[in-house]
Amino acid sequence: MPNCDRCGKHRARVTRQNPTGQAGIFWCPVCTGEESEPESKGRHMTPEKQLELWVAGESVHNDATGECCPDFSCCKPDLLWPKADRVKFAEATIYEDEDTRMSMMARSIEALANREFPGCDIEVSPELRGGDG
C-alpha cells in the first residue's frame, strides 16, 4: 500500500480518497481523522541503522518499517541476544546468508513463544532451526 500523500508516515487506504475529493490522492486514517496518531514504540530509521544500533546493544523498535529487532528485545528487553549472536546475525545479513538468518530468527521466535506461553514447550521444526542449533 502507498504511504499517505499528506503526512507520508502512515499507510494510506487505497480504497478511500482524501476528504478533498482530489483524484489519485490517498490519505491515511490519521490524516482523515478516522484514527488517532498511533503511540510510538521506537523511532524512524533505516533497517541498516536499526541493525547497527542493535549489534551495539541498543534495541530500538523501527517505526519506519514497524519491525522489531531480530530478537524482539526492543519490545522484550530480557530477550536480548548475546553480542556474539548479534554480530553473527548482522554478518549473515550483510553476506545474504538467509539460512543462518532464518535459523536464528526461528530460535528467537521459539524463545519468545515459550516465554509468553510457559508450559507449552513450543519447538521450531528442525527444517527451520537449521544445522547450527
pLDDT digits (tens, 9 = 90+) for 56-81: 999 988 887 788 899 989 888 888 99
Do 112 and 71 reside in the same domain of the chain? yes
Domain that holds residue 69: 47-129
11 φ, ψ to 5°?
A: -80, 130
Do 99 and 51 reside in the same domain of the chain? yes
Do 56 and 33 reside in the same domain of the chain? no
Q: Which residues are bridge partners to 3 per DSSP?
A: 11
Q: Is the pLDDT of residue 125 over 60?
A: yes
pLDDT for the residue 16: 54
Do 21 and 60 reside in the same domain of the chain? no
Domains held by the chain: number: 2
Lowest mean pLDDT among 8-17, 88-97, 116-125: 8-17
Do 34 and 56 reside in the same domain of the chain? no
109 to 78, 91, 113: CA distances (angstroms): 14, 20, 6
Do 27 and 9 reside in the same domain of the chain? yes
pLDDT digits (tens, 9 = 90+) for 31-61: 777 766 555 456 777 888 889 999 999 998 8
Do 57 and 26 reside in the same domain of the chain? no
Closest CA to 106 of 89, 91, 119: 89
Q: Is the pLDDT of residue 86 over 80?
A: yes
pLDDT digits (tens, 9 = 90+) for 102-123: 989 888 888 888 888 888 777 7
43-73 residues labelled b (16+ CB within 10 A) or e (exposed): eebeeeebbebbbeeebbbbbeeeebbbbbb
Residue 119 burial by Cβ neighbours in a 10 Å radius (0-12, 13-18, 19+): exposed
Q: The pTM is what?
A: 0.61
Do 79 and 105 reside in the same domain of the chain? yes
Q: Which residues are bridge partners to 60 per DSSP?
A: none
Do 54 and 86 reside in the same domain of the chain? yes
Q: Give the pLDDT band of residue 89 (cuts 50, 70, 90).
A: very high
Torsion angle defined by CA atoms of residues 29, 33, 34 and 35, in that order, rounded to the nearest 10 degrees? 70
